[in-house]
Structure 1
Amino acid sequence: MTLTNQTRPSDGPTTDTDAPRATTSYWQAVGLVAGREISTKLRDKAFLFSTVFFLFITIAATVLPALLGGGPSSVAVVGAQAAEALDRAGLEVTTVADEQAARALVLDEEVDAAVVVDPTGLRVLALDDAPSDVVSALSSAPPVELLDPLAVDPVVRALIPIAFGMIFFFTSMTFGVQIAQSVTEEKQTRIVEILVATVPVRALLAGKVIAASTLAIGQIVLIAIAALVGMTVTDSGTIMSQLGPAIGWFVPFFVVGFVLLAAIWAVAGALVSRQEDIGSVSMPVQMLILVPFFAVVFGNDNNTLMTVLSYLPFSAPTAMPVRLFLGEAASWEPVVALVVLLASAVAVVLLAARLYEGSLLRTNGRTSLAAAWRNRGN
């Protein structure tokens, strides 16, 4: 009788709970976890709102300056003598028959200025303000030899490090905190105990990291497309041609660097059992992001400092693309820096997996790193 009672319960759970383990591989489990995380996030109104908000800000930042600055000046021209020079300057040229017609167009504010010919030469007509762009187009400037033709405009030089830094900083912080909160919430509600009954602990970690990385990269791609469209509409092709190589390298650096940080954020969430305690473990992770951000933004004019930062794992995703944009990195340097970053990411992910396993099921308050390391698999 006793044997019968013991056999039936053991047979029942074996059939129901162990079947997923027998039919689901590790990577299938990772896919299930990642799919669950992505679908949950895509239904989150706050995430969707933030994505739309960032797209709006990106489009506004690229399009509004051109719209507020107005289009090219429109000029009425008598004869063809000045038309070619004005056209080369990007002005809207309208050819008229005589000076009287040109004056009429200016007075009616149908054009911004007019260029007429008299015995003394060319003369510019305007309503109430001298049109500097028309005068510049007609002026004869001396030849100029550029000793450093590849030099970057000072304003652009200051803005590009901030742009790269802010993209990596805010993305890492936003999605990183969400990873930590998700892990802690599952611990606090004891859902994690149900999950690990059918899914390996490392599959949970890999699924969360992959899901967050996919969402972050997707958001960045949308923002990049919006910026590209905005720059194309406003004809900012010069900056885009300079940014091309830097953006091309920024993508792989961003992906690897984000995976590294996402694994650390997951461990931070696993070390505590309550949402209220996340702040105590997240501060060191935030400093790993914050310090490199300010170092790149304020130290980008220091070539020695930027060279060092471009090989450090937490600053390389920002520092190396900035050096490439400024033309201060040799062609082999991004390859070496990316290999160093990739090796560091692999080491950090392996370490994070060990700590994640040792702390995920511990719900008796905050777990120290030493305890998490010792309690792997317990």
Structure 2
Amino acid sequence: MNAARPVSLSRATALVAQREIVTRVRSKAFLVSTGILLVGIVVAFVVMQLLGDREQTTSVAAPAAIAAELPDGAGIEVTTTASAEEARALVAEEEVDAAVVADDASPAGVTIVAQTEAPEALVSALSLAPTVELLDPDGAWSALRYIMGIAFGVIFMGAAMSFGMPVATSVVEEKQTRVVEILITAIPARALLAGKVLGNTAMAFAQIALVAITVSGSLLATGQTEILAGLGSPLLWFALFFVTGFLLIATLFAATGAMVSRQEDISQTISPILYLVMAPYMLVIFFSNNPLVMAIMSYVPFSSPVSMPIRMFFGEAEWWEPIVSIVLSLAACVGVVALAARIYENSLLRMGARVSWRDALAH
């Protein structure tokens, strides 16, 4: 009989990745959570559109001479009356929100009559607005920037936790049940590491792609094309940055998971990785309006998936900046993968006590 040919590294990696993907796709919890996420996105954009379209109209009564001067539209509905007394009567009967009548003693020449308070839309329409000069127009707090930071941060952190943590727990489970000893006899340790990371990265990217498609479709369906036009490029870059950022996170999860042999001990080794996952989310929220901090974070591999797309959306990044940032992220991936592979190979078959960092990094 001919001896069985050893499985090549690429083939073994593909087999492990396929197993990870099939296992996740068959998980009802994964399918349900993904469905809830996508439905939540659609509902959020529909609600935003409904709130945006709900325009509060102020009804105003005024004599013919004054009614002709009032802006009919833009939130103001004008009712023409025969006299000022009739206009006042409509306000008293709560048929209209306010009345505008002539008043020679008023600097504006008219007086607004209302029940409890004058409608702001009417006051603004009758006011002469002065010219405004802003010395720092971009320095104010931006609600949209804050919301985008939360959105990108939550998506990145959620995906890293949903797909990265299982990498570590599956490694520990295979060690605890000693299944890994059988796997290593058939495939190289590096193939096992690469397959786990690539399989979960593919699933995480697929979920992010679904999120991007759902966001784009929701914006188109609700007619919010201006937001979509500005968000299109940042979304694509976010997906690209997400791949490199998640590769770093998932590789470190697998390597640190290999350092322990029991599920109870896993929190000891993955704590630093959890900080790397949470850091972009927290930093972007606290420093969203700090240009210097945001610029620095857009070049750091673990925070660039969140900070760089935001800077691109607001036109703060030059065309070459995301390219340089992605190159730095890829270089970091190469270094982290090499380091994680050494930790993984040195720790995978060591049972019992937690493997120290010194032993895990030894040649």
| Superposition TM-score, scaled by structure 1 size | 0.74
On the 8 A contact 1:51/1:219 being kept in 2, the answer is yes
The verdict on how the C-alpha distance between 1:228 and 1:210 changes in structure 2, with shifts beyond 3 A counting, is same
SS of the residue corresponding to residue 19 of structure 2 reads helix
On the 8 A contact 2:193/2:341 being kept in 1, the answer is yes
Query: Corresponding residue for 1:37?
Result: 20
Whole-Å separation in 2 of the counterparts to 1:340 and 1:49:
36
Whole-Å separation in 2 of the counterparts to 1:86 and 1:165:
44
Q: Look up the equivalent residue of 1:291 and give its one-letter code.
A: A
The verdict on how the C-alpha distance between 1:42 and 1:373 changes in structure 2, with shifts beyond 3 A counting, is same
Whole-Å separation in 2 of the counterparts to 1:305 and 1:151:
14
The verdict on how the C-alpha distance between 1:147 and 1:242 changes in structure 2, with shifts beyond 3 A counting, is farther
SS of the residue corresponding to residue 299 of structure 2 reads coil
2:154 aligns with one of 155, 166, 174 = 166
1:321 aligns with one of 285, 302, 309 = 309
2:319 aligns with one of 323, 331, 354 = 331
Q: Is 1:250 the equivalent of 2:238?
A: yes
Query: Corresponding residue for 2:204?
Result: 216
The verdict on how the C-alpha distance between 1:190 and 1:274 changes in structure 2, with shifts beyond 3 A counting, is same
Query: Corresponding residue for 1:122?
Result: none
Whole-Å separation in 2 of the counterparts to 1:190 and 1:204:
14
Q: Is 1:26 the equivalent of 2:9?
A: yes
Whole-Å separation in 2 of the counterparts to 1:317 and 1:166:
11
Task: Note the residue ranges of structure 2 that are not aligned, 5 or more in a row.
Answer: 59-67, 78-95, 98-116
Q: Is 1:66 the equivalent of 2:34?
A: no
SS of the residue corresponding to residue 186 of structure 2 reads coil
The verdict on how the C-alpha distance between 1:302 and 1:215 changes in structure 2, with shifts beyond 3 A counting, is same
Question: 1:48 Cα deviation (Å)?
Answer: 1.3
Whole-Å separation in 1 of the counterparts to 2:37 and 2:54:
26
Question: 1:137 Cα deviation (Å)?
Answer: 9.8
Equivalent positions of 1:149-228 (< 5 A) are 154-228=142-216
1:148-168 superposed Cα distances (whole Å, 9 cap, x missing partner): 999998211221122111211
Aligned length: 347
1:52 aligns with one of 35, 58, 64 = 35
On the 8 A contact 2:284/2:307 being kept in 1, the answer is yes
Q: Look up the equivalent residue of 2:22 and give its one-letter code.
A: S
Task: Note the residue ranges of structure 1 that are not aligned, 5 or more in a row.
Answer: 1-10, 76-80, 94-111, 114-128
Q: Look up the equivalent residue of 1:320 and give its one-letter code.
A: M
Q: Look up the equivalent residue of 2:348 and give its one-letter code.
A: L
Question: 1:220 Cα deviation (Å)?
Answer: 1.1
Q: Look up the equivalent residue of 1:47 and give its one-letter code.
A: F
Equivalent positions of 1:217-366 (< 5 A) are 217-366=205-354
SS of the residue corresponding to residue 374 of structure 1 reads coil
Equivalent positions of 1:134-145 (< 5 A) are none
Whole-Å separation in 2 of the counterparts to 1:326 and 1:293:
18
On the 8 A contact 1:184/1:275 being kept in 2, the answer is yes
1:101-126 superposed Cα distances (whole Å, 9 cap, x missing partner): xxxxxxxxxxx99xxxxxxxxxxxxx
Whole-Å separation in 1 of the counterparts to 2:221 and 2:57:
20
On the 8 A contact 1:152/1:326 being kept in 2, the answer is no
On the 8 A contact 1:58/1:226 being kept in 2, the answer is yes
Whole-Å separation in 2 of the counterparts to 1:371 and 1:239:
52
Whole-Å separation in 2 of the counterparts to 1:131 and 1:219:
47
The verdict on how the C-alpha distance between 1:153 and 1:372 changes in structure 2, with shifts beyond 3 A counting, is closer
The percent of aligned pairs where both chains have the same amino acid is 45
Question: 1:357 Cα deviation (Å)?
Answer: 1.0
On the 8 A contact 1:73/1:133 being kept in 2, the answer is no
Cα RMSD of the aligned pairs, angstroms, is: 4.1
Segment drifting more, 236-245 vs 156-165: 236-245
The verdict on how the C-alpha distance between 1:215 and 1:326 changes in structure 2, with shifts beyond 3 A counting, is same
On the 8 A contact 2:142/2:289 being kept in 1, the answer is no
Question: 1:342 Cα deviation (Å)?
Answer: 0.8
On the 8 A contact 2:149/2:281 being kept in 1, the answer is no
Whole-Å separation in 1 of the counterparts to 2:260 and 2:46:
45
| Superposition TM-score, scaled by structure 2 size | 0.77
1:174-213 superposed Cα distances (whole Å, 9 cap, x missing partner): 2111110111111111111121121111111111111111
1:205-229 superposed Cα distances (whole Å, 9 cap, x missing partner): 1111111111111111112222222
Question: 1:70 Cα deviation (Å)?
Answer: 5.7
Equivalent positions of 1:73-92 (< 5 A) are none
On the 8 A contact 2:256/2:343 being kept in 1, the answer is no
